[in-house]
A and B are shown apart, each in its own frame.
Chain A
Amino acid sequence: ETPTTATSGGPAASAAQNQSAGPGCARSTTGYPQVDVKGAVVGFSQSEKEANPFRTAETASIRDEAAKRGAELLYTNAQSDLNKQISDIKSMIDRGAKLLIVAPLNSDGLQPAFDAAKAKQVPVITIDRKVTSKPCTDYLTFIGSDFVEQGKRAAQQMIKATGGTGKVAILLGASGNNVTVDRTKGFKDGIAGTPGLTVVAEQTGEFDRSKGQAVMEQLIQSNPDITAVYAENDEMGIGAVTALKAAGKQPGKDIKIVSVDGTRNAVQLIADGSYTAVVESNPRFGPLAFDTLEKFGKGDEIPQNIVISDDEYDSANAAQKLGNAY
């Protein structure tokens, strides 16, 4: 398969082995009508601006797959506004969407939108962020990464890279975001058994490169003994690299950097030797989402929780897997 664009390149997310959990959900349980994906109007509600490569790749993946399967795609972007996302979803239902894919802005607050879909018997697949509503009732199923697991895997990478000793600074994601909460929890749990690794600072970089950079600049001054940085997304990690270089440090060498996402820029930095490791958060939900919709349409039972497999990049494989990064 030859990728058409850079963002849609790389392997599609596939369901991780044995990780799809929960009792099944089928059309017979929901009583929803049968809809063929081919020729159907499918709505996709994106949550945030596409400045972050993760979002770009996510949207591209859905778009490409919809085109491939002959579905008509309606697309909205909530621009980080929860109320707008609710309206977006309702308006797509109104405009005739028979199937919905939603990348929720946050884990809570979409209930009214789900209720609207339920009332019109429109199945909803949520991707990327898991919501607190009821699967198979409020929405069909969740396809996405296990963010706690991502944090744990980042911790493993960190332990491996530091040999289990060091002072870690955490660049937190945006406050109030469940991705932040989960990736922090996973990481802290992951290093709990390694007393040599201590967290000396945790400050928010708001998932943003320049904020990550600014915070890192402060921390490296007040805590010059920092030996490792855990960034909850690549953008902040890249910002940290810039900050550390400016402070005369050698990121990737005297200061280890581990982050989550798998963007091309970060993986490139690993290959260049100034980054330690990246745990992937795979944004290519398109194929899996449409497979799931098709399966559901056929009447098959689908799992309520589809955890996708995330890759990992480190110095051993970065150069060779660079093409997979987004």
Chain B
Amino acid sequence: MTVSETSRQHGAVLPKATRTKVLQRQGAAVALVLMVAVSWLVFPRFGSLDNLRDLALQGSFLVVIAIGMTFVIITGGIDLSVGSLYALGGVLAAWGSQYGFLAALALPLVVCGLIGLINGLLIARTNMAPFIVTLASLLFARGLLLAITDEGANTYQIPADSAFVELGRGTVFGFGYPIFVAAVLAVLGGMVLNRTNFGQNVFATGGAEQSAVLLGVPVAKTKVLVYTMSGTLAGLAGALTAAYLQSGVTVIGVGLELDAIAVVVIGGTLLTGGMGTILGTVIGVGLIKVIQNVINQIGTLDSNYQSVVSGVFLLIVVVLQRILRR
């Protein structure tokens, strides 16, 4: 009897919780679908295959970075260095491309992964705040980038006929390879997050760090891994971008970390850690890119209004999420 009473109580609480959960989880998705539908109706060009392809391609680089960011944020951390690592990765890839495909790909992954590893070690082993550690690496990576490009004077070109360019420029049905790379990584990321012990450790670390330690979760190792991952993925996104642009452009990635954080949050991942999904993040990227695209479709909008619109949009999404979560 008491037992059934307990379950009755839960019965009373749960359906509402589930309902909210659905709304929360799918809230961003619903918003995305609505926005796409409206944009399609209002701007005939929005739905053109070319536009959609470009939308997906532009989103793919951010998705790659934001996957890493999602892991980091779920552990309760933050990674401000991704924008710089993205630019650095691109430069390294372009420079490495003179030694062949493998060098072009491996160099950014290794170097950016290494910087991520150092981020992780500093955060996990010394109890320094992720915000400040990765802020320092933001500066460091930018400095390193300038150092290897003669203060930015050298832009390394990737030979147009190299296999590496194909990685950025090749298409299947007109959809660029980076889209597929991002898609595969998103699926993998979701799998790792939800279906592996490491993923569970990520949730546990962010959900209740002290408890996680006592539950035998290798918290320090988990943190080191997520920052390494985030650095590596930022480097990869940079490499893909370099392949796409056919050169190691030095002036990209400034402020990209804030975009990445914004899409992760819009996707419903808790900034305090312990909860989040890769799918949400992908949807978050979709929302941001669609908004940008629509602003372009309007065409006549004063460019200064664009950031106002983005800011207001971000606000609406987080406020709505907050209200739904109540």
Contact = CB atoms under 8 A, between A and B. Distances in A.
Classify A-B as touching or not with yes or no (CB < 8 A): yes
Interface of A: 46, 49-50, 74-77, 79-84, 86-88, 90-91, 93-96, 105-112, 115, 132, 174-178, 180-181
A109 B247 contact: yes
B251 interface: yes
B321 interface: no
A178 B241 CA distance: 20
Given A50-B303, A95-B45, A176-B251, A87 B292 contact: yes
A86 B241 CA distance: 12
Given A75-B299, A109-B245, A181-B152, 9 more contacts: A76-B299, A80-B251, A95-B299, A106-B251, A108-B247, A109-B247, A111-B247, A176-B146, A177-B152
Interface in B277-301: 292-293, 296-297, 299
Interface stretch (B8-16, B27-35, B48-56, B179-187): B48-56
Given A91-B293, A94-B51, A83 B252 contact: yes
B307 A111 contact: no
Contacts of B26: none
Contact-size category for B: 35 or more
Contacts of B293: 87, 91
Interface in B225-283: 241, 244-252, 254
Contacts of B249: 82, 106, 108-109
A7 B283 CA distance: 43
A79 B61 CA distance: 18
Interface of B: 45, 48, 50-51, 54, 58, 61, 146, 149, 151-153, 155, 157, 169, 241, 244-252, 254, 292-293, 296-297, 299, 303-304, 306-307
Given A83-B241, A90-B50, A181 B153 contact: yes
B299 A80 contact: no
Given A109-B252, A111-B246, A175-B146, A132 B152 contact: no
B191 to A, nearest CB: 28
A83 B169 contact: no
A218 to B, nearest CB: 18
A87 B53 CA distance: 11
Nearest to A204: B151
A105 B247 CA distance: 14
B157 A132 contact: yes
A87 B152 contact: no
A105 B297 contact: no
Contacts of B247: 108-109, 111, 132
A94 to B, nearest CB: 5
Nearest to A111: B246
B43 to A, nearest CB: 9
28 contacts: A46-B303, A74-B299, A79-B303, A82-B245, A82-B249, A83-B61, A83-B252, A91-B45, A91-B54, A93-B50, A94-B50, A95-B45, A95-B299, A108-B155, A108-B157, A108-B248, A109-B245, A109-B252, A111-B245, A112-B244, A115-B169, A132-B155, A175-B250, A176-B149, A176-B152, A176-B153, A176-B251, A181-B153
Contact of B307 (A74, A79, A132): A79
Nearest to B242: A109
B276 to A, nearest CB: 25
Contact of B245 (A80, A87, A108, A180): A108
B58 A112 contact: no
Given A74-B299, A181-B153, A91 B51 contact: yes
B94 to A, nearest CB: 9
A174 to B, nearest CB: 8
Nearest to A115: B169
A94 B245 CA distance: 20
Nearest to A95: B45
B245 A112 contact: yes
Contacts of A181: 152-153
Nearest to A51: B304
Contacts of B51: 90-91, 94
Contacts of B157: 108, 132
A108 B247 CA distance: 7
Contacts of B155: 106-108, 132, 178
A176 B250 contact: yes
Nearest to B304: A49
Given A83-B58, A132-B155, A132-B157, A49 B252 contact: no
Contacts of B303: 46, 49-50, 76-77, 79
Contacts of A109: 245-247, 249, 252
A95 B43 CA distance: 10
Given A108-B157, A175-B146, A82 B54 contact: no
Contacts of A83: 58, 61, 241, 252
A281 to B, nearest CB: 19
Contact of B296 (A76, A80, A132): A76
B251 A87 contact: no
A90 B56 CA distance: 13
Nearest to B169: A112
B237 to A, nearest CB: 11
Contacts of B149: 176
Nearest to A74: B299
B221 to A, nearest CB: 35
A127 B52 CA distance: 29
